[in-house]
Structure 1
């Protein structure tokens, strides 16, 4: 079995490609980075270092890589693939779908065997986004092939892969946390039903939102509050600062109520999951920097992402959302100078004011009471922490 994975970054190497290798796939990475492509082809292997109370090292062997611009090599790899996956960032799904469509047009001329395509991104129903882009403009022949022979399961992925500063034997070695979860829609899989470490589920929606709310949303909240309170690492902020810790736990409690009402998941089950997540945030071995977790606030504060989605659900259900509001407001104070997206938000605030900026970024109407609540919390945080 052959797997082609778009995105040779830390998640690609340390999570998806790692599980594919453990499942017996021949793994080929695709990336736009000359450094990553050249290094993978030079060494052919790398080490995944699991960071916990003790280090565990596992070698991933016999991998290769193709540059995104090497169309001929990509055509061959995609034509032979049994599984295509991505970890390229949700913002890049549409453009990657355009590339894949052209490559699949070539494949359908030589190989009409079954195939699965899975987007492994921090976004709700990311594969659906990728699928729409692939279908858009597809020939009749390719459309028929996609409908009959290609599975497009959505998935929920969960593993923290920080840019931790540890000694590595090779530049492409990658450090990861010991926890991981990859949930895949069972009924949409064609042939890749035995990936080791993956769980195949009947209903993915609850898993996606549980992870988005309780991991990603609370993670971002810790990052943004920690940043404005001058911490550096996630574990410092959540273990040393009672205000931040309570905000994260409060975020969880608000999200748990909303998830329980919407999906019928037991509160006890969600609270057990919450405890695991808080424990992961406390892992000092990860040395996970707030600036990494908070980066690209434009995406993290957008309408269908980790902060605004649980907020809207709480408002729809008439539930309290004070801590979720805090996380969002803190995101608009995240002005990390090396983050272009963060600086863009700050420029927007200076030019157009906070109300319009919140509306622009979140997609919420300026007349919505939610905007008023976010702005009120934003002003409260400014007074408390930005003196």
Structure 2
């Protein structure tokens, strides 16, 4: 079985590529970075270092890579692939979909071999977003080919892969936490239903939202509040009493919303929450706040990790004061080396906080939630910003 993975970064190598290799796939990475592509092709292997109280090392062997602009190599790889996966960031799905559209048309002309395409991103229904981009302006022949031959299962992915500074044998070795979860929509799979370490589920939405809210939303909240209080690492910030209490109560708000919306056991969600707090405390990861908080334009957008649980809580009449705290802190994330953070700060300066909230979050400026976010922003600004 042959797999192509778009995005040879830490998640690609340390999570998706790692599990696919363990499952017996021949893995080919696709990336735009010359140095990364060259290094993978030079070494043909790398080590995944799992960080906890002791480091566990596992080799991933027989891998190769293709540069994103090498169209001929990509055509051949896509023609022969059984599985295509991505970890490129949700913002890049549209452009990747345009590329895949042309590559799949080439495949259609020569093969009716079945294929699955799975987007492994921190976004709700990312594969559906990728499928929409692939099918844009498609004719009936191509649409029929995709429906008959290509599976587009959505998935939820969960593994923290920090840019930790540890000794590596090779420059492409990657360090990861010891926890991972990859949930895949079972009913949409065509042929790839035996990936080691993945769980195939009938209803994916609860898994997607549980992960997006309780992991990604709380993680971002730690990063933004930690930045305002002068911390560098996630494990330091989560041990701050104010931040810890905010995150625990953020979880309670999200747990209540998820249990009502999806009829999930509150105790099961609380158990998951407790496990997450332990993961945030893992000092061996040396997970920097900037990595977790970067690109607040995306993380504060309408369908992402903070605004979505806020909207759901509001719809269910659950007071989301701690989720509001994470959002307010996000609008105060003024990291100088983050262009997207600076873009938000410039909009606040030029147009005011309510306009900035509306533009970034997608909420109407006269929405009561915008006023609540603005009030929390001012409260935190007075409390935490010197």
User: What TM-score comes out, normalization by structure 2 length?
Assistant: 0.99
Maintained 8 Å contact 1:86/1:119: yes
Maintained 8 Å contact 1:105/1:139: no
Q: Which residue of 2 aligns with 1:96?
A: 96
Q: Which residue of 2 aligns with 1:132?
A: 132
Cα distance in 2, alignment partners of residues 384 and 185 from structure 1: 44
Q: Is structure 2 residue 272 aligned with structure 1 residue 273?
A: yes
Q: Which residue of 2 aligns with 1:251?
A: 250
Q: Which residue of 1 aligns with 2:155?
A: 155
Cα distance in 2, alignment partners of residues 258 and 22 from structure 1: 36
Q: Which residue of 2 aligns with 1:365?
A: 364
Q: Which residue of 2 aligns with 1:319?
A: 318
Cα distance in 2, alignment partners of residues 217 and 331 from structure 1: 11
Q: Which residue of 2 aligns with 1:287?
A: 286
Superposition CA RMSD, Å: 0.6
Deviation string for 1:172-195 (max 9, x for gaps)?
000000000000000000000000
Q: Which residue of 2 aligns with 1:17?
A: 17
Superposition map of 1:22-101 within 5 A: 22-101=22-101
Q: Which residue of 2 aligns with 1:343?
A: 342
Cα distance in 1, alignment partners of residues 385 and 139 from structure 2: 56
SS in 2 for 1:216: helix
Superposition map of 1:163-182 within 5 A: 163-182=163-182
Deviation string for 1:3-30 (max 9, x for gaps)?
0000000000000000000000000000
> Bigger shift: 102-111 or 305-314?
102-111
Q: Which residue of 1 aligns with 2:261?
A: 262
SS in 2 for 1:132: helix
Cα distance in 2, alignment partners of residues 26 and 137 from structure 1: 32
Q: Per-residue deviation at 1:110?
A: 1.2
Deviation string for 1:327-362 (max 9, x for gaps)?
000000001111000000001111101010000000
SS in 1 for 2:109: helix
Q: Per-residue deviation at 1:41?
A: 0.3
Cα distance in 2, alignment partners of residues 326 and 100 from structure 1: 40
Q: Per-residue deviation at 1:143?
A: 1.6
Q: Per-residue deviation at 1:386?
A: 1.2
Q: Which residue of 2 aligns with 1:194?
A: 194
Cα distance in 2, alignment partners of residues 157 and 132 from structure 1: 20
Q: Per-residue deviation at 1:91?
A: 0.4
Maintained 8 Å contact 1:185/1:204: yes
SS in 1 for 2:195: coil
Deviation string for 1:277-317 (max 9, x for gaps)?
00000000000000000000000000000000000000000
Cα distance in 2, alignment partners of residues 125 and 289 from structure 1: 27
Q: Which residue of 2 aligns with 1:328?
A: 327
SS in 2 for 1:110: coil
Q: Which residue of 2 aligns with 1:6?
A: 6
Cα distance in 1, alignment partners of residues 173 and 124 from structure 2: 29
User: What TM-score comes out, normalization by structure 1 length?
Assistant: 0.99
Maintained 8 Å contact 1:2/1:80: yes
Unaligned runs of 5+ in 2: none
Cα distance in 1, alignment partners of residues 96 and 141 from structure 2: 20
Q: Per-residue deviation at 1:144?
A: 1.4
SS in 1 for 2:48: strand
